[in-house]
Structure 1
Amino acid sequence: MRLLPGAEPFFHDGSAASGMLLCHGFTGTPQSLRPWAEHLAGRDVTVSLPLLPGHGTRWRDLQSTGWQDWYAAVDRELERLRERCAHVFVGGLSMGGALALRLAARHGAAVSGVVLVNPAITFPRAQGLALPVLRHLVPSTRGLISDIAKPGAAESGYDRVPLHAAHSLRALLSLVRAELPQVTQPLALLHSRVDHVVPPSDAARVLASVSSVDMAEHVLPDSFHVATLDHDAERIFQVTDAFITRLATRKTARDGT
């Protein structure tokens, strides 16, 4: 099956000191996070940016997958990084942020820190209530990609949303909300001032619900939802650099290694 432009997974085998797993969003592809991944690779961080099952080809392929498949893919990549790196961080955009939060909740100290960009943890109420029935009557609905303020920038992904997969996404987000108190790792959360996909209340809910003591919130003033391809992308990269450097150095000093 031919992949959409930029949908290829990305892996950089860099330093054994720090690794980062990046998770893309629902109906998106690694293309939306590739500049972030390439920036980290340029800093000699070991980086994994997988293509989630059902994504990157045609929307009908997503119809037969669910959150268990998407989570299993990132869980495997986390183990791959843990075998290579002393400090492993997780990050994600939109649904990728929800997957990163679940990894942190379930793996505890194996995850050194979490970086989130416009994380999604809620599903629109009206659409969610209709999904259990509607998904058996209508295969898909119109999607929203390329919510980007920067002229000329575009996201590679599906312009249709398969409703069986959307129903599974709703279940994932409910599960992640329940697990937020189990997230104790240092956390950096970046969110756009204007986002046409995820409501600002999602970022506030993450910050209010996790058990992390070390938290930082960063507002992205000039970007829409896909901020990793937008005007504030460089700020995301800089915050991530500082976050990884600070935490890896601190943990190494504490461990005496």
Structure 2
Amino acid sequence: MPVLAGAEPFYFDGSAEVGVLLCHGFTGTPAAMRPWGEYLAEAGFTVRGPRLPGHGTTWQECNRTRWPDWYGWLRGEFAALSDRCDTVFVFGLSMGGTLALRLAQDLGPAVGGLVLVNPSVLTRRLDARIATLLAPVVPSAAALAGDIARPGVLEQAYDRTPLRALASLSRLWPLVRRDLPRVTQPVLLARSAVDHVVEPVNAAVVAANVRSEDLREVVLHNSYHVATLDNDAPLLFQRSVEFVESVRQVSAR
């Protein structure tokens, strides 16, 4: 299946001490993470930005994938980065944050820390819940992507939401919520003050249930859901580097 131009995965070779695995969101592509990856590479880190199965091609192909496909791919990327770097952090946007949490739950201290941007662990939106019920008979619905406040900036994502894939994501959410207390790694939780895709309750549930002694929160006041491409991206990028460096300083003591 041909990959859309700009949706290719990326890799930046840097320090053998710190690696960062970046994970894009549902129906999105690595393009939403590339500016962040470039910033992290300039800070000296080794960076991987994979393209999840079913993404960056067609929404029909995405409908043929399920959450274990996305998670398994990300776990393989983590293993590859771990072979190269002493400590690996996982950064995720939206569903990427969901998958990052699952990695932390399963791999424990092998994950050096998490940066979660508007992670999803549930939805109370009626339209999304109806859509998952319709998935067996209705293949797609209106797009969820493109929620960006900054004028003129577009997210590379599907123009339709693949409902069978969305239904699979909805089955991952309760597993991740159940196991949030298994997350003990340092966490930087970034949430947009206005998000038209992932409700604020998601960040609240994550913050209330993880067992991280080092839990930091930052509110992105001038960005919508895709904050990695929005007005607060420079702030997010800066805070993420400061987070990694401070976690590394603590672990070195």
TM range (shorter): over 0.9
Whether 1:21 aligns to 2:31 is no
SS in structure 2 opposite 1:202? helix
- What residue number does 2:66 align with? 66
Q: Where in structure 1 are there 5+ consecutive unaligned residues?
A: none
- What residue number does 2:177 align with? 177
CA distance in structure 1 between the partners assigned to 2:150 and 2:190 by the alignment: 17
- Structure 2 contact 31–156 (Cα < 8 Å) conserved: yes
CA distance in structure 1 between the partners assigned to 2:177 and 2:25 by the alignment: 17
CA distance in structure 2 between the partners assigned to 1:105 and 1:153 by the alignment: 34
Whether 1:194 aligns to 2:218 is no
Give the letter for the 2:169 counterpart: L
Give the letter for the 2:179 counterpart: E
Give the letter for the 1:86 counterpart: D
Where do 4+ consecutive residues of structure 1 move more than 6 Å?
Answer: none
Cα deviation digits, residues 62-84 of structure 1 (max 9, x gap): 01100000000110011111111
Whether 1:151 aligns to 2:151 is yes
Q: How does 1:189-228 map to 2 (within 5 A)?
A: 189-228=189-228
Aligned length: 253
Deviation, 1:172, is 1.0
CA distance in structure 1 between the partners assigned to 2:5 and 2:225 by the alignment: 20
- Structure 1 contact 128–170 (Cα < 8 Å) conserved: no
CA distance in structure 2 between the partners assigned to 1:132 and 1:59 by the alignment: 15
- What residue number does 1:76 align with? 76
Give the letter for the 1:149 counterpart: A
CA distance in structure 1 between the partners assigned to 2:138 and 2:7 by the alignment: 27
| Structure-1-length-normalised TM-score | 0.95
Give the letter for the 1:6 counterpart: G
CA distance in structure 2 between the partners assigned to 1:210 and 1:222 by the alignment: 26
In 2 relative to 1, CA 196–125 (structure 1 residues): closer, same or farther, beyond 3 Å?
A: closer
Give the letter for the 1:238 counterpart: Q
Deviation, 1:137, is 1.4
Deviation, 1:4, is 2.4
Give the letter for the 1:235 counterpart: L
Q: Where in structure 2 are there 5+ consecutive unaligned residues?
A: none
- What residue number does 1:32 align with? 32
- Structure 1 contact 128–167 (Cα < 8 Å) conserved: no
- What residue number does 2:235 align with? 235
Whether 1:5 aligns to 2:5 is yes
Cα deviation digits, residues 206-250 of structure 1 (max 9, x gap): 000101111111000100000100000001111111011111222
- Structure 1 contact 182–210 (Cα < 8 Å) conserved: yes
Whether 1:250 aligns to 2:250 is yes
- Structural RMSD (CA): 1.3
| Structure-2-length-normalised TM-score | 0.96
Deviation, 1:2, is 2.9
Whether 1:140 aligns to 2:140 is yes
In 2 relative to 1, CA 93–129 (structure 1 residues): closer, same or farther, beyond 3 Å?
A: closer
Deviation, 1:124, is 3.6
CA distance in structure 2 between the partners assigned to 1:213 and 1:16 by the alignment: 26
CA distance in structure 2 between the partners assigned to 1:135 and 1:145 by the alignment: 18
CA distance in structure 1 between the partners assigned to 2:248 and 2:77 by the alignment: 20
CA distance in structure 2 between the partners assigned to 1:204 and 1:91 by the alignment: 18
Deviation, 1:122, is 0.6
Give the letter for the 2:198 counterpart: V
- What residue number does 1:48 align with? 48
